[in-house]
Amino acid sequence: MCLVLFSSCKNEGSKIVYSNPTGEAVPVEYAKGFEINQFEGYKLLTVKDPWPKADKTFTYLLAEENASIPSEVQYDLKVTVPVKKIVVTSTTHIPSLEILNEEESLVGFPGLDYISSEKTRARISRGLITELGQNEAINTEILISLDPDLVIGFAIDGNNKTFNTIKKSGIPVIYNGDWTEESPLGKAEWIKFFGAFYNKDEQAAARFNEIRNSYIKSKELAKNANSSPTVLSGSMYKDQWYVPYGNSWQAQFIKDANANYIYGDTNGSGSIALSFESVLDKSKDAAYWVAPGQFQSFQQLFETSSHYKQFKAVQDKKVYTYSNSLGASGGVLYYELAPTRPDLVLKDLISIFHPELLPKYQPTFYKALR
């Protein structure tokens, strides 16, 4: 894919000598997908894994209004910071904006109904956020007419025609790769990526540290449990059972909550499709079943397949789903908030597997199947 380079600003004025030609790296502990280097008057943001197995990295120049940029600086796109009007394309981007108190800058989003957050829903109902169409099919004309300073996109691969058109109109499109991160804290750390665009790097770091500390504290707490129950995850479609891989984001939560995930030893990305037979054989006696897909009630479960009745977790009514925590317009809260708040996901699971450790805890995402 070829990137069209834009530098809408001319470098005017004489060059100044920089005191920090190498820049100062913003500390990033867990995330593997981005780096930020701070220079005087500008930052260089590198996105390393915009999509899985990407063979290219993107370097974005985030520059103050009147900063002069040395001519040898190489970059793919330039963004003037702090940004005032932004378009994001995934609900997972919204919690970061809210945590940084920048939700007011959001002017457009594709698929408004998916957004669950009450703060942002209130702005939608006041008509402050424009609907940009459905997921992959962003309405380019409406987007360009909004004239945002920045579009945060995500790409499954490097060929998104819509984004190329938007770039040609002079609006920078920045790829966010938070969804390719594999660790819970790695995903959450992308709040620093958002912080960079608002010049709120310190605030982003401080809020991330709170989340990290809370996560680590909960993980330590879970180690005190006197048992480590077996857990099944995923669900069946037709006669294929889809379970998350043992090294996946979902599975790490289960492990960190001190439980024994049945497919914990598998490796890969996404989820594995297994035959119903083998899942029944292996997981029949699992104590818990978490994240059974879209199911909200036992009735739905049995309507889809009576085979589910064979599992001990179903018989004991120990099935927990995030599909019952919905936003006002039906969006699933977990999809939106879980990547940014892994500490809440972990606490939910600890309160399920080891209720004695977190008495009186009110779960955010995971609720018992009705």
Partner 1 sequence: MPYSARYKGLLLLLFVVMVLMALVNVGLGSVEIPLQDIFSILFTNETTPGSSQYIILEYRLPKVFTALFTGSGLAVSGLLMQTLFRNPLAGPYVLGLSSGASLGVAIVIMGASVFGAGTAVLLLSKWSLVIASSIGSLLVLLAVLMASAKLRDTMAILIIGLMFASLTAAVVSVLAYFSPAAQLQQYIFWSFGSLGNLSWQEVSILAIFWILGIVVAIFCIKNLNTLLLGENYARSLGVKISTNRFLIIIATSLLAGSITAFAGPIAFVGLAVPHLIRQVIPTNDHKILLPAVIFGGAILMLICDIAAQLPGTEYTLPINAITSLIGAPVVIWLLIRKRKFIF
**329 binds partner 1 per the rule CB under 8 A:** yes
Rounded to a whole number of angstroms, the minimum distance from the CB of residue 235 to partner 1 is 11
Amino acid identity at 360? K
Minimum separation from the CB atom of position 94 to partner 1 (A)? 15
Task: Kindly tell me which of 82 and 264 has the beta carbon lying closer to partner 1.
Answer: 264
Coil, helix or strand at residue 159: coil
Coil vs helix vs strand at 166: helix
Q: By CB under 8 A, is residue 29 in contact with partner 1? A: no
> Using H for helix, E for strand and C for coil, what is the string for 79-120?
EECCCCCEEECCHHHHHHHHHCCCHHHEEEECCHHHCCCHHH
CB nearer partner 1, residue 113 or residue 201: 113
**Is 253:364 a contact under the CB 8 Å cutoff?**
no
Look up residue 213 and give its two tokens.
């500390």
Residue 153 contacts residue 176 (beta carbons within 8 Å): yes
Question: Of the listed pieces 26-34, 66-74, 182-190, 288-296, which binds partner 1 according to CB under 8 A?
Answer: 288-296
Judged by CB under 8 A, which of 7, 240, 269, 315 binds partner 1?
240
The contacts of residue 281 (CB under 8 Å, 6+ apart) are none
Task: Kindly identify the residues of this chain, within the stretch 107-166, that bind partner 1 according to CB under 8 A.
Answer: 111, 113-114, 134-135, 137
As given in the structure block, the two tokens for residue 76 are 């793919």
Q: How far is the CB of 185 from partner 1 (least distance, A)?
A: 26
Complex with partner 1: residue 128 or 137, whichever CB lies closer? 137
What's the closest the beta carbon of residue 161 comes to partner 1, in angstroms?
A: 14
From residue 54, give the alpha-carbon distance in Å to each of 39, 60, 120, 155, 249: 27, 16, 32, 10, 19
Kindly tell me which of 73 and 328 has the beta carbon lying closer to partner 1: 328
> Which of 12, 55, 72, 281: binder of partner 1 (CB under 8 A)?
281
Among 24, 29, 303, 316, binds partner 1 (CB under 8 A): 303
Binding track, positions 330-349, relative to partner 1; x by CB under 8 A: xxx-----------------
Residue from 7, 213, 294, 315 binding partner 1 (CB under 8 A): 294
Q: Which residue, 227 or 275, has its beta carbon nearer to partner 1? A: 275
- Taken in order 333, 339, 344, 350, the sign of the CA dihedral is positive
Q: How far is residue 97's CA from residue 112's CA, in Å, rounded to a whole number? A: 16
Nearer to partner 1, 145 or 310 (CB): 310
Size of the chain, expressed as the number of residues it contains: 370
- For residues 227 and 225, what is the distance between their CA atoms, to the nearest angstrom? 6
Q: Which residue has the tokens 């330039």?
A: 78
Indicate whether 304 belongs to the interface with partner 1 (CB under 8 A): yes
Q: Which of 279, 286, 229 lies closest to 255 in space, CA to CA?
A: 229
Binding site for partner 1 (CB under 8 A): 111, 113-114, 134-135, 137, 236-240, 272-278, 280-281, 284, 294-296, 300, 303-307, 310, 323, 326, 329-332
